[in-house]
Amino acid sequence: MQFEISPLPAQRLKDRVAIITGGAHGIGKAYAHRFVAEGAKVVIADIDGEGAEQVAQEIRAAGGQAIGLMVDISKLALCQQMAQTAMEHFGQIDALVNNAALFSRIPMTRARFDAIPEEEWDRMFEVNVKGIWYTCRSVVPFMEARQHGRIVNVSSSTVFQSPGTRIHYISSKAAVIGFTRTLAREIGISNITVNCISPGSTLSEENPSEETKDYRKRRVADRAIQRIQYPDDLAGAAVFLCSQDSAFISGQNLIIDGGQVMI
Ligand SMILES: NC(=O)c1ccc[n+]([C@@H]2O[C@H](COP(=O)([O-])OP(=O)(O)OC[C@H]3O[C@@H](n4cnc5c(N)ncnc54)[C@H](O)[C@@H]3O)[C@@H](O)[C@H]2O)c1
């Protein structure tokens, strides 16, 4: 086989359409902006509908194409509506980034395993696990029809090095990896890749308090790259996993934490 050296395309997601859940804030917002910079049209789907529309407006004001939608991913009907609206607006769906989760904007209990409120355990799995099942059920048929697609799920590096708290959150993020592998095998036949990103502790809060900054700094000493992690540190990997360059990569989990967990 001969290798051809070709110049890198300037925009790796040119004319691709991507749905980014949880794109109104934090890391999802960084994905939305970077995807547009790479040439994509984006659907920002968030339980905070106003926040989603605000990010979409910022993108449109800068000349990009985006729509913002209020979607609670734990409701199948809303996920189906999200996919329909994306199709009506942009005519295709190339990528789905399952970034929304109960994490920092919607606070969670940090207590021992036996002190987690049962309703909170259930809601965690309803959003973080069932939610991505619902978004995939809604979007995959459109990808199958075109025999092309990219799905990126979001787990967490805490699955591999647990801090010893938030057992419901970490269990839900471990489930995301099993979900990713199984779905990758089931729909690979349609040329759809399914991968996962596992971020390390990331300063994703919009107006972080000193306490939050100190909390994020605590991981720094354990990393090969010894600095705070920011949302932009994750965006390039999400672009890659939605681009043509990752066409033969599926069922994988990429830990992005500055070289803290090494497996
Ligand atoms: N920041 C970190 O340190 C870190 C580390 C590991 C993994 N992660 C993961 O990365 C992703 C983004 O994290 P973040 O730091 O930006 O979190 P965040 O809490 O700031 O953002 C999550 C987004 O999801 C939205 N959302 C919550 N519930 C929803 C629902 N039911 N339907 C639709 N949208 C919903 C929120 O409104 C918010 O915009 C999450 O999956 C999180 O678990 C983050």
Q: What is the pLDDT of residues 241-251, one digit of tens each?
A: 999 999 999 99
The model's pLDDT over 47-97, given as tens digits with 9 standing for 90+, comes to: 999 999 999 999 999 999 999 999 999 999 999 999 999 999 999 999 999
For the entire predicted model, the pTM comes to 0.96
Nearest CA to ligand 1 atom 25: 22
- pLDDT score of 45 more than 60: yes
Question: What mean pLDDT is predicted for residues 129-139?
Answer: 99
Question: Would the pLDDT of 8 be above 80?
Answer: no
Q: Is the pLDDT of residue 146 over 90?
A: yes
Q: Domain 17-252 maps to which CATH number in 3.60.21.70, 3.20.20.150, 3.40.50.720, 3.30.420.40?
A: 3.40.50.720
Give the pLDDT band (50/70/90) at residue 215: confident
Residue of 19, 47, 103, 213 to mutate, ligand 1, most atoms within 8 A of C-beta: 103
- Percentage of residues in the chain with pLDDT exceeding 90? 89
Q: Is the CB of 233 under 6 A from ligand 1?
A: no
Residue 100 has pLDDT above 80, yes or no: yes
Whether pLDDT at 1 is above 60: no
Q: Which helix (H) or strand (E) holds 24?
A: none
Give buried/exposed letters for 62-98 (b at 16+ CB in 10 A, else e). Answer: eebbbbbbbbbbbeeebbbbbbebbbeebebbbbbbb
- In testing the pocket of ligand 1, which one of 27, 31, 75, 203 has its CB within 8 Å of the most ligand atoms? 27
- Active site amino acids: 169
Nearest CA to ligand 1 atom 31: 72
More confident residue, 107 or 83: 83
Q: 219: pLDDT confidence band, cut at 50, 70 and 90?
A: confident
pLDDT score at 188: 98
Q: Are 260 and 157 a contacting pair, CB within 8 Å?
A: yes
Query: What is the model's pLDDT at position 216?
Result: 87
Determine the atom of ligand 1 nearest the C-alpha atom of 73: 32
- Report the nearest atom of ligand 1 relative to the CA of 173: 43
| Residue 233: pLDDT over 80 | yes
Q: Which of the listed residues 20, 105, 223 should we mutate to test ligand 1's pocket, taking the one with most ligand atoms within 8 A of CB?
A: 105
Alpha-carbon distance of 2 to 221, in angstroms, equals 44
Domain boundaries, the chain: 17-252
**Ligand 1 closest atom vs CA 155:** 7
Q: What is the pLDDT of residues 18-31, one digit of tens each?
A: 999 999 999 999 99
- Atom number, ligand 1, closest to the C-alpha of residue 199: 6
pLDDT of residue 4: 66
**What span, in angstroms and rounded, lies between the C-alpha atoms of 259 and 60?**
36
**Alpha helix stretches (DSSP H) within 15-166:** 26-37, 49-61, 76-90, 118-125, 131-146
Q: Is the CB of 101 under 6 A from ligand 1?
A: yes
Q: Which residue has the higher pLDDT, 25 or 209?
A: 25
